[in-house]
Amino acid sequence: MKKIILSLIAISAASVSFSAAAQFAKPEDAVKYRKAAFTVMATHFGRLGAMAQGKVPFDAKIAADNAEIVADMAKLPWHAFGEGTETAETKAKPEVWKQGAKFKEASDKLQAETVKLVAATKTGKDDAFKTAFAATGGACKSCHDDFKNK
């Protein structure tokens, strides 16, 4: 019986959506969380960049491993831009909160491009990878232009 109850608790905990999990204990925790996700994302995107630029040879398996981390990280930061985090000293522009729908669109675009990036790495084709890498970088850049201070 105890086991059943414990599994039920585990199942319901796992089904809590990301938006419901948007409750951080403190705004600083949310800021720390989203920065961490961006840091990990940038680290692995940078490794892909070295391959896209030919600084290291294209290796489909290594590219896929890195792209999967980028795609996973791309899901995470958005729910950490919640209320109370807009006054923190960060590079986020006020537009993140003033133009919420546009910010959501930009984050959706990034996530869509990272899914395509993973798929491209798995084709094993250098060209497909480079094209998808450029599209993903474009999604990073256009969001930064609108929503991130230098």
Site for ligand ASC, rule CB under 6 A: 42, 45-46, 49, 137, 140-141
Q: How far is the CB of 10 from ligand ASC (least distance, A)?
A: 36
Looking at the Cβ atoms of 27 and 144, the one nearer to ligand ASC is: 144
b/e 78-92 (16+ beta carbons within 10 angstroms → b): bbbbbeebeeeeeeb
Angle (CA) 43-109-47 rounded to 5° is 20
Q: How far is the CB of 90 from ligand ASC (least distance, A)?
A: 14
Residue (of 82, 63, 68) closest to 19 by Cα position? 82
Q: How far is the CB of 141 from ligand ASC (least distance, A)?
A: 3
CA contacts within 13 A on the Cβ side of 2: 0
Q: How far is the CB of 140 from ligand ASC (least distance, A)?
A: 4
Question: Which residues are registered as beta bridge partners of 148?
Answer: 92
Looking at the Cβ atoms of 31 and 143, the one nearer to ligand ASC is: 143
Looking at the Cβ atoms of 22 and 56, the one nearer to ligand ASC is: 56
Looking at the Cβ atoms of 27 and 148, the one nearer to ligand ASC is: 148
Rounded Cα distance, 45 and 50, in Å = 9
